[in-house]
Structure 1
Amino acid sequence: MKQFFMILVVLTLTILVGCNSTQNMDSTDQNQKENRQQETEKKENPEDQKQENNQAAETNEDEQKTTNRKKETLYRMNDNWLLKPLKEETNDQVVLLTIDDAPKEYAIEMAETLKVLDAPAIFFVNGHFLETEKQKNVLKKIHEMGFAIGNHTYNHTRLTEVDSKTQKQEIVKLNDVIKQITGETPKFFRAPHGANTDHVKKLVADKGMLLMNWTYGYDYFKPYMDAEKLTEAMITGKGPEAGVDYSLLQPGANLLMHDREWTAEALDDIVKGLRDKGYEIADPHTIQLPE
């Protein structure tokens, strides 16, 4: 009798465990079915998926902006357009990379090269290269990649040859366009040909932008419209065929480049060559701005 009772208990427990397992399996199957249904609904509703992707992109963009805002201010720019450390312990063996006339044709390629190299830069843009949706999307992507965006006037006008009203329009109009595309007003300004006026200097300061020229650049001289020659000139600071037979490379140097085919081709070697010489690539977001 006792043995019969034990067998009955074992059978009861076995049935209970089996029922519980079946319920768990049914629950798992139901969850998997619901997940598959949700995935199917996403595929059948591309607008929902698009909205989800856009929200993710906006989150990444906001995170990038927050990261840039949190960066410590390490350098100031002196009257010779060189970066100087604000603190003695800050590395002074740095160079600043800047790219003008973007996004004309090769800007996104250059940005992707720099991103792979983890090399920051300022892209100084012109308004007449931002008049199509494709061009605007290129600038938006460069900004979302974390690069600083600078104002290089709307029409690449030589500001010393136009009246003060036009000078203001060239700067303010482009600021508005950049903000519309990126959500941020540019913090850096470079005049075409480096030609500034007193009116421009005051306007730029009033707008909270840092006025900037450069210490050297060679890609706009015909002899250096060649990737190999340009690479040598940029990493040595010498441009004999442009009348510079001595090196302009020094700590804090502000390097000028352009959105050009030969510069895009040379960019990877230029960055690596400068680093091989012991120079760090300065982050524009760590440069002191006007108060």
Structure 2
Amino acid sequence: MLVLFVVACSKEQVAPASDDDDSDAKLPESEVVSEPDGEEVIQDQPIEQSVDEVTEPLYALNAVWAFEPIGDANPKAVLLTIDDAPDKYALEMAKTLKELDAPAIFFVNGHFIDTEEEQAILKEIYEMGFPIGNHTKTHANLKQISEEEQREEIQMVSDIVEQVTGERPKFFRAPFGVNSDFSKALVKEDSMLLMNWTYGYDWEKQYMDANALADIMVNTELLHDGGNLLMHDREWTAAALKDIVQGLRAKGYDLIDPATIQGVED
């Protein structure tokens, strides 16, 4: 079976076959890769638990960027992820997911969290119970910049996320799925789980429509147990999100709580 390994956050580039291959490709599976002030305010509770609550790992990321169950965990489960947040629609998407009791990771870019207003949105998303992942400062191709620039791209985002939320990111996804040996070591040093994806479509022209996107995300032949689903902060994705979640559940898939993913220190 083929697993689609495609563009993250850009409709003009295709993610590499591996960290050492920048060619455009669709690859065999074996190669793939969230306060108001005032008295008596009741804060929203997290989707299932506090993002910093210690939880026994139930899923482990494998070599093709999918998730395998640990012990008796349900194998028929997928992870939802949102990249390029919080641009224009991330908060709306977080509210939709919250209403649906659907967990997800929001991967943020530094250029979307450099103002007080943007940081307030980031904090709101986090306080709804969604973990914040690191997606670099400027969405640069890490293999095309110096090691010092890579360090700034990664650490600057983790520092701001920690400043705003009180917690450093536990997950990292490189732009375009391209990592360098240096970035991989730096990510591991900062105790983040390096993550790519198994499939996604919302950057392709034919899927920049809510109905078309919801259909392909749920009915693609690439949907399989442990899928690592890539979506973005986009208008059409926000509009399709409810149907995507409901469609996956109708097919019997559970949604993986990121708090149950085995991290680098587990």
| Structure 2 Cα separation of the partners of residues 51 and 183 of structure 1 | 22
CA distance in 1, matches of 2:213, 2:118: 27
2:234 paired residue among 251, 260, 264: 260
Q: 2:63 aligns with which of 66, 79, 96?
A: 79
Quote the residue 1:249 is aligned against: 223
Cα separation, 2, equivalents of 1:64 and 1:83: 20
| Whole-angstrom CA distance in 1 between matches of 2:37 and 2:225 | 47
Q: Deviations over 1:170-217 (max 9, x none)?
A: 000110000001000000000001010111111111111000000000
Residue from 181, 200, 203 that aligns with 2:186: 203
Give distance in 1, aligned partners of 2:246 and 2:148: 43
Could you say what secondary structure the match of 1:267 adopts? helix
Question: Which secondary structure state, in structure 2, belongs to the residue aligned with residue 176 of structure 1?
Answer: helix
Match of 2:196 among 186, 198, 213: 213
| Counterpart residue identity of residue 241, structure 2 | L
Q: Distance in 2 between matches of 1:185 and 1:68?
A: 10
Moved more, 69-78 or 109-118: 69-78
- For residues 82 and 133 of structure 2, the distance between their equivalents in structure 1, rounded to whole angstroms, comes to 9
TM-score, normalised relative to structure 2? 0.82
- The separation in 2 between residues aligned to 1:178 and 1:269, in whole angstroms, is 30
C-alpha separation between the residues in 2 aligned to 1:218 and 1:236?
A: 12
Q: Which amino acid aligns with 1:267?
A: L
For each residue in 1:106-150, what CA deviation from the matched residue of structure 2 results, as whole angstroms up to 9, or x when unmatched?
Answer: 001000000011000000000100112111111100000000110
Partner amino acid, structure 2, of 1:115 = K
CA distance in 2, matches of 1:125, 1:227: 22
CA contact (8 A) 2:134 2:172 kept: yes
- 1:52: Cα distance to partner? 4.2
SS of 1:101's partner is: strand
C-alpha separation in 1, matches of 2:95 and 2:56: 25
Pick the structure with more helix per residue.
1
The structure whose Rg is larger is 1
**Structure 1 residues 167-178: aligned runs within 5 Å:** 167-178=150-161
Aligned partner of 2:217 in structure 1 is: 234
Regions of 4+ moved over 2 Å: 49-54
5+ residue gaps, structure 1, are 1-48, 238-246
Question: Of the candidates 53, 59, 66, which is equivalent to residue 69 of structure 1?
Answer: 53
Aligned match of 1:277: 251
Match of 1:11 in 2: none
Q: CA deviation at 1:79?
A: 0.6
Q: What is the percentage of aligned positions where both structures have the same residue?
A: 55
- For residues 191 and 50 of structure 1, what CA distance do their matches in structure 2 show? 36
Q: Which has the higher contact order (CA 8 A, sep 6+)?
A: 2
Within 1, Cα distance between the matches of 2:37 and 2:235? 34
**Whole-Å separation in 2 of the counterparts to 1:207 and 1:51:** 37
Please list every run of 5 or more consecutive structure 2 residues that lacks an aligned counterpart in the other structure: 1-35
Separation in structure 1 between the aligned mates of residue 129 and residue 37 of structure 2, nearest angstrom = 23
Residue 282 of structure 1 aligns with an amino acid whose one-letter code is: I
Alpha-carbon distance, 1:70 to partner: 3.0
User: What do the CA deviations read for 1:265-285 (whole angstroms, capped 9, x no partner)?
Assistant: 000000000001110010011
Q: TM-score, normalised by structure 1?
A: 0.75
Distance 1:134 1:173 in 2: 18
